[in-house]
Amino acid sequence: MSKILLILGAGPNIGSHVAKAFSSAGYKVAIASRTAPRPADGSDLHISVDLEKPDTVPAVFDKVRKEFGREPSVVVYNAAIFPPDPSDTLSLFTPSNISQYEKSQAVNSISVLVALHEATKSFRNAPADASKTFIFTGNALNVITLPGMLNFGLGKTVTAYAIRHLVEQKVYAGDGISIYYADERTAQGAPVGKSVSGPAAAEEYLKLAEQKEQGPWLYTFVKGDGYKDFEKGSKL
């Protein structure tokens, strides 16, 4: 069987390392982003997409089917937009600023949910031995608050709740589909911030893709140590 990875959101860190790791493991790799990654990251196909426009996401899956002749086996949503909050935080929701909030929500949550819907459709049509795994690159903002990150945190929290709901309610359990909110932490459980490790994410994402059963939906992990249960309630 030809295994296929689709990554939505390219980048020189997580996106590039995940692409290379899965390619080395025998996957065909498609990257969807506004522009092709540079330098080449080992992907077999680049698809142009603007994730500020959620209605463009379904065409990405159509392109994968057309080019590879199969459904994606694994889908990784790695895109994010980090707009700083205004000095008066709630002025984010005034007419002059609301467009910035809407743009961030489009990338950080709405396009994720569209991609998740398209992925589950694909997985249902994939061969029985396909991985059928969806992984979202998250952070700790679904469980903590930090200064100046209301806007960013709202997007992460929406997506985290959707993933938790789908897993805990076993919506797709009968289809053999696994869904994860992946969050790298320090050894003490604190957010890693801008120090995220592409190689660590690649190692853990490949591990999740090769796992047969759904694990903790909130997959908090430490570089070099793997999964660590830092948040109560993350298990099934």
Does 235 fall in a domain?
Answer: no
- pLDDT (0 to 100) of residue 81: 93
Among residues 3, 63, 132, 156, the one annotated as catalytic is 156
Q: Quick one: tokens of 117?
A: 């819907």
Does 233 fall in a domain?
Answer: no
Q: What pTM value is reported for the model?
A: 0.96
Q: Domain of residue 217: give its range.
A: 3-227
Count of domains in the chain? 1
Residue 156 a catalytic site member? yes
pLDDT tens digits, 157-192: 999 999 999 999 999 999 999 999 999 999 999 999
- pLDDT (0 to 100) of residue 204: 98
Contacts by residues 26-32 (CB-CB < 8 Å, ≥ 24 positions apart): 27/3, 27/73, 27/74, 28/2, 28/3, 28/4, 28/68, 29/4, 29/5, 30/4, 30/5, 30/6, 30/63, 30/64, 30/67, 30/68, 30/72, 31/7, 32/6, 32/7, 32/8, 32/60
Model confidence at 43, pLDDT cuts 50, 70, 90, reads confident
DSSP assignment of the chain: --EEEEEES--TTHHHHHHHHHHHTTEEEEEEESS--SS--S-SEEEE--TTSGGGHHHHHHHHHHHHSS--SEEEE-----PPPPSSGGGGGSTTTHHHHHHHHIIIIIHHHHHHHHHHHHHHHS-TTS--EEEEE--GGGT---TT-HHHHHHHHHHHHHHHHHHHTTSSGGGT-EEEEEEEE-TTS-B-GGG--HHHHHHHHHHHHH-SS---SEEEEETTTEE---STT---
Does 189 fall in a domain?
Answer: yes
- pLDDT (0 to 100) of residue 35: 83
Does 128 fall in a domain?
Answer: yes
Does 104 fall in a domain?
Answer: yes
The overall average pLDDT reported for the chain is 93
Higher pLDDT, 230 or 11: 230
Does 11 fall in a domain?
Answer: yes
pLDDT tens digits, 95-121: 999 999 999 999 999 999 999 999 999
Phi, psi dihedral angles at 48 (to 5 degrees)? -75, 135
CATH code of the domain containing 92? 3.40.50.720
Model confidence at 11, pLDDT cuts 50, 70, 90, reads confident
Does 236 fall in a domain?
Answer: no
- Tell me what the mean pLDDT of segment 132-149 comes to: 96
Higher pLDDT, 95 or 39: 95
Q: Using the predicted structure, report yes or no on whether residue 219 has a pLDDT greater than 50.
A: yes
Does 92 fall in a domain?
Answer: yes
